[in-house]
Structure 1
Amino acid sequence: MKRFAASTRKVGAARLVVDSLKRVSLTFIGDDHQLNYAVAKVVGSRLGWFPVDGLKVMTGMRKVPDLAALTEPERVATEAELLRGLRNQFRVIATPLPAGAVLQDAVWKDLWGSVIVWIDEDDKSTPKPRTPERQLYEDRAELAVRVKVQKGFGVRGGQTLEGRARAVADTLLPRLSDFLAEKPELTERKRQYVERGCRGDWPELQPAEGSPVVAALDRKPLAGFEEEQEQQQGQEQQQGQGEQKQ
């Protein structure tokens, strides 16, 4: 993961990102889902990408008024199902729940087809502890966007969720543009990964006709087969010896 300094270039950043993404989707991860989704709506409006309201979709999937009606395993399983359904969709922005399905390694097989962005607000007055979840974000995000919380009377609208989301989006888009410009092959490889079925072989993509599942097998006989094979060979040897005596 590479972190870039804030860019002062804002004009045309959205257009450059659209051209560079080539319809590839985005995934915003972080420990503030409400902010991430608000940022997704701002970024989506500027790029023409669709921000997926995961909470609304999941409650509809399970026909419950609120996710609180589900147990934690049910919520994680529902979100994993949602993210799996999004993996073949282009031009969408997903915002997985903190401490949810993103903590499962199997789910990342479905996420790697998108560009992973970690959104992190930095507030010096309330520093965030280093947790395994935040370490996961740092390790797996392809781009980190860390912004300082805006405070003071001179910050007009900065304390509202919408104001915070706009501030993050203003920082995110130029950085994303710079990131994609330095890795022009990234989005094409993401497209190939999706087109080949999100097989879990990111970033070392296997040939289209190959299967990482089959390649991972040791080609060992099934359990019990070796013993059965030895017995059969023993019987054949005994039969051969009997024929020689005759």
Structure 2
Amino acid sequence: MATSSTSTSTFFLISNSTKPINLLTKTVLYFPKPKLTIPRWASSNSNFKKLNNRVFCSTLPTVSTKTTHYEFSEGSSEVELRLKLGDIDVSSKDIFVDANENSLVIKLQHSGSLRTLMDTSCLYERIKPSETIWYIDDDELVVNLKKQDPELNWPDIIESWESLSSGVSQLLKGTSIYLVGESTEINQKIARELAVGLGYTPLDTKELLEAFGKKTIDSWVTSEGFDAVAEVEGAILENLSSQARTVVATIGGEHGAASRTNKWRHLFAGFTIWLSQSEATDEASARDEARRHIQDGLQGFSNAEVVVKLGGWDANYSKTVAQASLSALKRLILSDKKLPGKKSLYIRLGCRGDWPDIKPPGCDPSATDNTCFPQL
């Protein structure tokens, strides 16, 4: 039995490019500036649109339903949704089911009015809309949806926090997550939320560094400079790179190792999420900003595989940002299901800095000759 769930407006950009490292498969999300009060969650009619090998989604998955509960079950190649209709007299001509690849709308015509039973902006994953079947079974509406990917497990019909936590945990296969960006505080708060949801261990390089040095980051910077902090954090990241099932919050801004492009050797051991505070005022400008940062590659943060653009920050939004990050991670991994295994191989070969073009065992990735690939 599942309960209905809601989420906030956001923006997705998924690219399948895997050539230059700064254009590695990426997911970008945008959050508008938080208001002083928790907003009413909004949905959008513009779900997914394909453009230039990228997929845009204007909102984080949302659902509205007039039913208190719905029943959801999964088969090998399809999922089934059951909605209670109650004791009203309903025929098939009173039911309207509109299924697209990523969305589902169900409406009921009764007593002269059209009532929405369910309206999802994004399903948990894609379906084959032309093969959708629905029928009335006693007092229930039963909708059968065919999966595009029969091998993918659907924990729920929608992307709730619970379904994403369960689904992404399986997709990650133990691969760790690293949070980078301009704010240490944001990295820390989102890392804790993600760790709780996934059942991972939360780790904080700021806390580890201060415990090691027995002084604060600020006093360390004052006495030894930014570079010294980045060097020590780099050593901590090296030690953590072999750890599985962790969510690591890194030091934000110019203090941290992640801001330096030459310090990413061990960050590539896990999936990286850039939590980026944005000056953009809308989704379009956030998209352009993200593209500029990724293409310029001037900041180490642009190496991240997932970018979450925040139009402001409010700690009350931590779980919402964490949920969006899980949604983005899911799409990233589904774009290439071999990524977790490739991360594992990268770690086993010693995190040599050759991500994503991993060289053979015994090869020196920094070598400029062709000794790694001798002529046959």
Determine if the TM-score, normalized by the shorter chain, exceeds 0.5: yes
**Structure 1 gap ranges (5+):** 151-158, 220-246
**Mapping of residues 101-120 of structure 1, within 5 Å:** 101-120=257-276
Matched, 1:84 2:238: yes
Identity of aligned residues (%): 21
> Aligned-pair distance for 1:136?
2.3
* 2:209 maps to which of 41, 50, 58: 58
> Could you say which structure has the larger radius of gyration?
1
- SS of the residue 1:52 aligns to: strand
TM-score (norm 2): 0.49
* 2:250 maps to which of 92, 96, 104: 96
Q: Which residue of 1 is the match for residue 76 of structure 2?
A: none
**Mapping of residues 157-236 of structure 1, within 5 Å:** 159=314, 161=315, 163-213=316-366, 215-216=367-368
Q: 2-side partners of 1:141 and 1:104: how far apart?
A: 12
- With CA pairs under 8 Å and 6+ residues apart, which has the higher RCO, 1 or 2? 1
> Aligned-pair distance for 1:76?
1.8
Listed one character per residue, the Cα deviations across residues 163-216 of structure 1 (whole Å, up to 9, x for unaligned) are: 121121122112221221112111110110001100111111111232324x43
185 and 131 in structure 1: CA distance in 2 versus 1, 3 angstrom threshold: closer
> Aligned-pair distance for 1:88?
0.9
Q: Which residue of 1 is the match for residue 92 of structure 2?
A: none
Q: 1-side partners of 2:189 and 2:365: how far apart?
A: 37
Listed one character per residue, the Cα deviations across residues 208-234 of structure 1 (whole Å, up to 9, x for unaligned) are: 232324x43699xxxxxxxxxxxxxxx
TM-score (norm 1): 0.73
Aligned residues: 206
Q: Which residue of 2 is the match for residue 225 of structure 1?
A: none
145 and 68 in structure 1: CA distance in 2 versus 1, 3 angstrom threshold: closer
**Structure 2 gap ranges (5+):** 1-25, 29-55, 62-157, 372-376
Q: Which residue of 2 is the match for residue 68 of structure 1?
A: 218
Matched, 1:10 2:173: no
- SS of the residue 1:200 aligns to: coil
- SS of the residue 1:203 aligns to: coil
> Aligned-pair distance for 1:121?
4.0
Q: Which residue of 1 is the match for residue 305 of structure 2?
A: 142
> Aligned-pair distance for 1:82?
1.0
Listed one character per residue, the Cα deviations across residues 72-112 of structure 1 (whole Å, up to 9, x for unaligned) are: 23212211111111111111122222212123333211111
Query: Is 1:26–1:92's contact at 8 Å kept on the other side of the alignment?
Result: yes
**Alignment root-mean-square deviation, CA:** 2.9
Q: 2-side partners of 1:122 and 1:218: how far apart?
A: 42
The code of the aligned residue for 1:67 comes to: I
Listed one character per residue, the Cα deviations across residues 7-36 of structure 1 (whole Å, up to 9, x for unaligned) are: 413231111111111111111111122011
**Mapping of residues 120-131 of structure 1, within 5 Å:** 120-122=276-278
Q: Which residue of 1 is the match for residue 188 of structure 2?
A: 37
> Aligned-pair distance for 1:68?
2.2
- SS of the residue 1:164 aligns to: helix
| Greater per-residue helix proportion | 1
